[in-house]
Amino acid sequence: MLGLNIEETRIYQDLERQTKLKAAARFLSMGYSIFEVAKAVDLSVEEITTEVVNSQTPTEQAE
């Protein structure tokens, strides 16, 4: 239409990343290793550690 690719927009990329991080949090809570999760959601271990693991409250980490 206007020659725009939806996947190149900032909002699409932000939503895709948020979705991957939410999925990563769920996989981790189900007992998957951080390496398995990183591979499954196509994010680096560092991203998952920074965004998911470090943002959990102490009670969430204990579960």
Range of the structural domain that residue 30 is part of: 7-62
Greatest Cα pair distance in the chain: 50
Q: pLDDT tens digit string along 5-36?
A: 888 899 999 999 999 999 999 999 999 999 99
pTM, rounded to two decimals:
0.76
The neighbour count for residue 40, using CB atoms within 10 Å, is 13
Whether residue 2 lies inside any domain: the answer is no
> How many domains is the chain built from?
1
Whether residue 1 lies inside any domain: the answer is no
Backbone angles phi, psi at 20, to 5 degrees: -65, -40
Between CA 30 and CA 57 the distance in angstroms is: 17
